[in-house]
Structure 1
């Protein structure tokens, strides 16, 4: 397939100066998407609408309007409202749903000149770590069609990795826009909770955890998108201002935790790749101390998972009781489990979530950045919920997801950037985590770390 030769920053500059047009750029992106149908990264296309939107951007440019994302083609995850488009959450329940309006983030991207050229695949309700759905089927890994890009933002991540678009917009409630980018070799950013307004859109099963998350080939494009989307909006009561000052990385206190303080398995190739990256960063002059967060007793993903199950049951339990076969079987199991949790179980999960947040707060009281793995393994077959083995040990279906969910429960910003590859060329990522509200500092540091690792 033909890959784009320009980043989002470069496309915006070219459209702004008239070297190319938004329409030409959108046509090229649509042609790449058409040529990559077998990837199943983009599940809904409306070429006429996209080209009309691109023509409107060209008209605005000719009228003298300045747009930071002028003509940049984007793919938006299938659980974020894009007005006038089918947004189905990968579910047969919403197969014919047309979003009545844009989510605030999409509204802001359009105002900045971005052009939606497709809707990216997600697992049903964005609720599992493999991007397969009963409505659209499996999304394939761009480097190996028998593997998964991970989930739940597998479609947007694969679309960027395959070069279909320079920028995609996902969501992240437990790592959904950090792990897939790590598996396909691009960058994915989970902002501080509230930094980008959420909705209007579907009711969320994740109880104050999910965020809008840009995915791109490099951190510069992620920062461009974040700046366009971030900021308080009265329509989202959780939206919040963030600290805008970006501190230089040389002034930051940086820690490295090879397993995030958890007793979990990591493949040797990932552990060695992370250690090598840390050595390179240290040699470049960064002061990095190895230090683990200290978690409360019983802090595991199992302790907080009742929140997801109960949320799904609250939203879709009635439909499940009428016809459980309409759901992805893996999601049906989660809903069934959610219907069985007691109020005490859910309260216990909320308490565990709060304890994790307090543990992270204590860690960041004297630390500015935490470096850790994004994933403990590389991609696995799309027919499985997770790899059979990680680090030489039998792996649970969520063993691949151990390093990301706690960040959501602490509502911190985190980014995954490419860090290395295994002998077969399959990527993995370095996760960089910061204190809540320090999104600008995190992005600046990520750009500097990215440059060092690519040098």
Structure 2
């Protein structure tokens, strides 16, 4: 059962060859078997799962065919699920019970999905390693000594380990692209506003964070996204997406930038894997040219970080003053730093983000897609924030995150798809980026890219 895709599970529930209760039970058994080592799924099984199963059975008996019928979904432990303990990985919220569903969760239920649990997150989704004081450390399914990264590491690790076919994460700087890249899953960051998000916890970085589907293949990602997409009058940032029909990938102008136009190190195994993948895509007839975005002078993640630090300080500074030991030490440092930034510092960071958005927007007016690595390295040891070196160069703990945050500030969609392996057989992810609102074009092209890479490697995309 756990090898079935979301598409296959829904089809089986539609034609009666699968029962939603049996599907959910199979995945819960899988969680019970593997999760003690992974610590990807946290908290308790949702109390309303039984009633959700019965309600879905009745819908199917009436002849309804909801698109995600019987598909188990895990939800990141920062997103509201009615009646569920949702902690944000924080001791401040360890007893919080969500009073209602986030609209995205409600849309999943209407589509027939079954919420079977919560997935671990770094505290407040503000760290590139998935660990917190409430639930502890999440580990990599291929090697328990490694991390899947963060902050959606619980979602990514669970999907890769077949604990659920789908997970709903968040992405404020790459949190649902980098972990999928590290574990060999697909992570999709939609355009800002493509999935309405007006209900739940306030974000430390409003206007940057989005809800993000995570799956094992692009088709399942598309299926999930279509049930989530759409505006909500309560969300002033929510937008309708382009209605233009997607074009075939062979007709698109695609740019390849091996370092995303940045002066940053990349490990040789990742660089070689991405280069091989680009050769495969070119060999299949895709029009891929070498081209780098030319970023504003001084553009880097350090320039943008005051926004996250000040956001955390605004939300939790009072509790931090009262007792800083309540927080993950790395989050505590971010809050302390946020208390020190001036208004001018914040204004400069906002301006830098705006200039980055203009730069990427202009680049994507000349190119339909931009391809680069999702991360410059494969997964690293779970006992540290980030790898100590990349490309033979000593790097800061966020050195692994350099290729994803700019996309958030540009409000653009981006997807990470597996493209091969690096050292020790660890997965490498390819990031594909499109202009804001072109989510469906991006997903259609990503499905074609995925199929080309799979065929070149002699494997099938869909599990059998």
Deviations 1:215-260 (Å, cap 9, x if unpaired)?
Answer: 0000000000000000111121111001132122122100000000
Determine the structure 2 residue equivalent to 1:133: 132
Query: Where in structure 2 are there 5+ consecutive unaligned residues?
Result: 456-464
- Structure 1 stretches of 4+ with a deviation exceeding 6 A read none
Q: CA–CA distance in 2 between the matches of 1:412 and 1:55? A: 39
Displacement of 1:47? 5.5
Displacement of 1:38? 1.8
Determine the structure 2 residue equivalent to 1:384: 384
Determine the structure 2 residue equivalent to 1:431: 431
Displacement of 1:199? 3.3
Q: CA–CA distance in 2 between the matches of 1:326 and 1:432? A: 38
Query: Would you say 1:272 and 2:272 are equivalent positions?
Result: yes
Q: CA–CA distance in 1 between the matches of 2:446 and 2:115? A: 26
8 Å CA contact 2:6–2:220 kept in 1: the answer is yes
8 Å CA contact 1:131–1:148 kept in 2: the answer is yes
Displacement of 1:48? 4.5
1:83-94 matches, cutoff 5 A: 83-94=82-93
8 Å CA contact 2:251–2:287 kept in 1: the answer is no
Determine the structure 2 residue equivalent to 1:422: 422
Determine the structure 2 residue equivalent to 1:402: 402
Determine the structure 1 residue equivalent to 2:174: 175
Determine the structure 2 residue equivalent to 1:8: 6
Does the residue aligned with 2:335 lie in a helix, a strand or coil? helix
TM-score (norm 2): 0.97
Determine the structure 2 residue equivalent to 1:25: 23
Query: Would you say 1:345 and 2:345 are equivalent positions?
Result: yes
Displacement of 1:54? 1.6
Determine the structure 1 residue equivalent to 2:445: 445
Displacement of 1:150? 0.3
Q: CA–CA distance in 2 between the matches of 1:276 and 1:194? A: 34
Q: CA–CA distance in 2 between the matches of 1:48 and 1:307? A: 37
Deviations 1:295-343 (Å, cap 9, x if unpaired)?
Answer: 0011000000000000000000000000000000000000000000000
* Count of residue pairs the alignment pairs up: 453
Displacement of 1:156? 0.5
1:248-327 matches, cutoff 5 A: 248-327=248-327
Displacement of 1:116? 0.4
Determine the structure 1 residue equivalent to 2:144: 145
More displaced stretch, 242-251 vs 215-224: 242-251
TM-score (norm 1): 0.98
Does the residue aligned with 1:116 lie in a helix, a strand or coil? strand
Q: CA–CA distance in 2 between the matches of 1:250 and 1:270? A: 25
More displaced stretch, 87-96 vs 423-432: 423-432
Does the residue aligned with 1:132 lie in a helix, a strand or coil? coil
Query: Where in structure 1 are there 5+ consecutive unaligned residues?
Result: none
Determine the structure 2 residue equivalent to 1:53: 52
Pairwise CA RMSD of aligned residues? 0.9
Q: CA–CA distance in 2 between the matches of 1:159 and 1:311? A: 29
Does the residue aligned with 1:415 lie in a helix, a strand or coil? strand
1:185-204 matches, cutoff 5 A: 185-204=184-203
Does the residue aligned with 2:312 lie in a helix, a strand or coil? helix
